[in-house]
Homo-oligomer: A and B are copies of this chain.
Amino acid sequence: MITGKNYIGNRLAGKGSKTYKTFNPKLNIENDQNFVEATTEEINEAVFLASDAYITYNQKSGTEKAMFLKSIADEILALDDALIQMYCTESGLPDGRAKGERGRTIGQLNAFAALLEEGSWVDATIDTAEPDRTPAPKPDLRKMLVPLGPTVVFGASNFPFAFSTAGGDTAAALAAGCPVIVKSHPMHAGTGEMVASAVIKAAEKTGMPNGVFSNLNSSGIEVGVQLVKHPQVKAVGFTGSIKGGRALFDLAAQREEPIPVFAEMGSINPVVILPKALDNRAEELAKTYANSITVGSGQFCTNPGLLLGIKGAGLTQFIQSLSDEIIKVEPSCMLHPNIIGAYEKNKRKALDQSGLKVTADYSAEVDTNYARQAIVTVDGKIFAENSRLHQEVFGPFSMVVQCEDANQLQSIISNLEGQLTGTIISDENEISNYSMVVAALQNRVGRIIFNGVPTGVEVCPAMQHGGPYPASTDSRFTAVGTQSIKRWVRPFSFQDWPDNLLPNELKNSNPLEIMRSVNNQQTKDAI
């Protein structure tokens, strides 16, 4: 069913000599299929096709693009169990997670399709002319969002469906009108090829231009570097490590024509547990957080890696309970030997920092590639003085910081790097006494949660997934939800343009019946 080749537009190609295999972490064996890394020639061809496709794809109506996205969803579903099996084989993740993530991916594609069908997302803004205005007549100006151009999407290791081949970045860019070239994640190249085949099939069925989508294999960094440096590439989406995201950001910033890179990178997602909450429900919270820290082997970007509290009997009890609870959790398989290797190394490095106390360290024997969870605790003063302790340990690991008082808590939060999320656990009204702590946390995060867990990222318009650097490279955008389309578009104004030549979104008659701002009034009326 899979070929190991690259999709250069709708053509399968594999002229390269560099090959690699994916890995089954559960069985601890390499999978059979050889994947052929894209050659420079194939990369250039994919970009050339995308650049060409941009012109025609751009002229498709919202309804046509919506049909394309819905057809992608259908074709993914049509791959059925074979796709789910491939996902599990390449990720070590369970069948239920695969199906859930497929559902999320389908949901994203359909949500963007609905956005396109409704049509108002282009922010059509019209200021009509005032020819008699003095001292100078006012021209007619009409603005809407237009696509940036060919976009490169880097698949993520931890979400083979939802943040990879036809995941959020791809769905948003295609919805925006940008052709997409996916740099397939090497850990799930087979899943990537299967999903890519669904996208290509959908493009052909719905009459989209060849080159609107390509899928390139690569095991190292070279293909990605060539793509980001290519003059015809106009935007980049990435989900992964700070190191990887920053490298791409730097490359893009150094181009003769810099291009936007939206990289959603690491986060330790600080959780502040206020004293009364600790006093009243330390054990319940411990259970909740033992689960949140270990869910998906801790391989979520919203994993709570940092828990902060004020010293006292409540916090001591919580640390004890959390440590007891987390040891009870059955270890699970991580995505790849490289990932578990990095986890074990980073965990050891964290455990070896001076001043830390290990309160839970799963030591029973586990299957190869299964992650052993750990909890450590540290004094606020030591944490404040050692910024290496802020570093994410990607996996089922969390650090509890014991602060002297609210001032130290606030100061520690203020000095944290940017985060995707922050959480406040509070008893009724308790939070009102910590307004400066809350303000400090708000300043460091993209989303703040009350009495919950950061894991679980709802796909909806009000979701913000992204935050101050290094949570993401541009906090002005979100990576999740339909608003993520804004990353791949720019406003464009027509001045005194003939009505019949305007895009339908801006014509006097408002043929698409979308909501527009006309002379500062929101309306669906014709002009």
Contacts and interface: CB of A to CB of B under 8 A. Distances in A.
A249 B257 CA distance: 12
Interface string A414-447: 0001100000000000011000001100110011
A275 B256 CA distance: 35
Contact of A126 (B417, B431, B462): B462
Q: How many copies does the complex hold?
A: 2
Contact size range, A: 35 or more
Contact of A475 (B141, B148, B452): B148
Nearest to A486: B476
A492 B100 CA distance: 27
Contact of A125 (B148, B452, B461, B475): B461
Nearest to A461: B125
Interface stretch (A7-15, A84-92, A318-326, A514-522): A514-522
Q: Which of A446, A468, A476, A501 has the most CB of B within 10 A?
A: A476
A464 interface: yes
Contact of A501 (B100, B259, B431): B431
Contacts of A257: 417-418, 468-470
Given A125-B462, A458-B138, A446 B522 contact: no
Nearest to A451: B496
A495 B461 contact: no
B462 A142 contact: yes
A467 B448 CA distance: 34
Contacts of A446: 490-493
B439 A55 contact: yes
A461 B522 CA distance: 12
A512 to B, nearest CB: 16
A500 to B, nearest CB: 9
A501 B439 CA distance: 11
Interface in A328-381: none
Interface in A241-281: 249-250, 253-254, 257-260
B495 A491 contact: no
Contacts of A382: none
A478 interface: yes
Nearest to A464: B493
Interface in A453-471: 456, 458, 460-464, 466-470
B520 A491 contact: no
Given A458-B138, A515-B522, A475 B498 contact: no
A489 B136 CA distance: 33
Nearest to A452: B496
A225 interface: no
B458 A127 contact: yes
Contact of A490 (B448, B450, B476): B476
A143 interface: yes
Interface string A102-145: 00000000000000000000000111000000011011011100
Nearest to A258: B469
A473 interface: yes
Interface string A159-203: 000000000000000000000000000000000000000000000
A504 interface: no
Given A447-B493, A475-B490, A478-B491, A460 B418 contact: no
5 contacts: A126-B462, A253-B254, A260-B476, A475-B490, A476-B487
Given A125-B483, A127-B458, A257-B470, 18 more contacts: A127-B462, A138-B460, A141-B460, A143-B463, A146-B442, A253-B253, A257-B469, A260-B476, A438-B501, A442-B492, A446-B491, A446-B493, A448-B492, A448-B495, A449-B495, A468-B490, A476-B486, A476-B487
